[in-house]
Amino acid sequence: MAGKIWFITGASRGFGREWAVAALDRGDKVAATARDLDTLTDLVQKYGDAVLPIHLDVTDREADIAAVAQAKQHFGRLDVVVNNAGYGQFGFIEELSEKDARYQFEVNVFGVLWVTQAAITVFREQGFGHLLQVTSMGGLVASGPLLGIYHSSKWAVEAFSEAAAGETKEFGVKVTMIEPGAFGTDWSGPSSMHAEALPAYARQRGIAEERWANPPVAAGDPSATSVAVLAVVDSDDPPLRLLLGARPLPIIKADYESRIAEWDKWNDVSVAAQG
């Protein structure tokens, strides 16, 4: 298989960086975006012309469209676009400021949407292309407190990406949502934002933070995910959704079962509403 050409947002750290390195190590070419270009300097030194560093804040729609166009022009085509840039906004729903809530959506939803739109246009023209949307197990379940607006943002990406997959299939475009469970990135550390605390939630916050500090199971190793991501982009028939990690699936199944049990329990009432 000829080397692939990637466009990866948020390549300064975390999964974005892992996958950029994995692609470059096997000889693929990567347009890597970051808000701070200095974070990509070592990649440029090591991989030279195989990497195209692009300064990008994904919340800027015009810049997103220009960056995708620049990458396509530079390398001649685009095979894989990875919407990886994002962060976690912590806070009980009542605690979130208007700014907290809006910024979570600017980056995690609108940033992804603008890059997605730009990528689809290029992919349709080419007649091929693979869009990877980095969501989360938290883009599927939201049973706990403290991350409501983050869940909201990732559920939103899951929804419009599924619609986009159906809309672009006939043009040869593939869409895969990458849904990591807990991994040892700095997602819940320096990368995260925190709303101003309300005293009313102090007790619950203590419980939630205790759980974050001492997770019941060990986090996954981010470097182990690259094999899965490479396998997905090399697949002729990639999945719409791929979980990263062994643990999310039973958790999601249990959540779906509990939703279905509740809907079933109230189904007579639901049916009565049909009229």
Partner 1 sequence: MAEKVWFITGASRGFGREWAIAALERGDKVAATARDISTLDDLVDKYGDLLLPLKLDVTDYDADFAAVAEAHAHFGRLDVVVNNAGYGQFGFIEELTQEEARAQIETNLFGALWVTQAALPFFREQGSGHLLQVSSIGGITAFQNIGIYNASKWALEGFSQSLAAEVGPFGVHVTLIEPGGFSTDWGGSSALHSTELPDYADAHAAAAASRAARYSSPGNPSATSDVILAIVDADEPPLRIFLGETPLATAKADYASRIAEWEKWQHLSSAAQG
The footprint of partner 1 on residues 74-133 (CB under 8 A) is 92-94, 96, 98, 101-102, 105, 109-110, 113-114, 116-117, 120-121, 124
Instruction: Give the separation between CA 78 and CA 29, rounded to whole angstroms.
Output: 10
Q: How many residues bind partner 1 (CB under 8 A)?
A: 90
The residue from 47, 87, 103, 150 that is catalytic is 150
CB 59, CB 37: distance < 8 Å? no
> Which position among 29, 134, 148, 195 is part of the footprint of partner 1 (CB under 8 A)?
148
In the bound complex, what is the minimum distance in angstroms from residue 190's beta carbon to partner 1?
21
Contacts 24+ apart (CB under 8 A), 200-209: 200/94, 201/92, 201/94, 201/95, 204/92, 204/145, 204/146, 205/92, 205/146, 208/144, 208/145, 208/146
DSSP label at residue 78? -
Residues 6 or more apart whose Cβ sits within 8 Å of residue 246:
181
DSSP label at residue 183? B
Binding mask 210-239 for partner 1 (x = CB under 8 A): ----------xxxxxx-xx--xx------x
Chain residues 1-60 in contact with partner 1, contact rule CB under 8 A: none
In the bound complex, what is the minimum distance in angstroms from residue 215's beta carbon to partner 1?
14
- Does 150 participate in catalysis according to the annotation? yes
> Which position among 142, 188, 191, 192 is part of the footprint of partner 1 (CB under 8 A)?
142
> Which position among 27, 163, 189, 197 is part of the footprint of partner 1 (CB under 8 A)?
163
Catalytic residue numbers, as ranges:
150
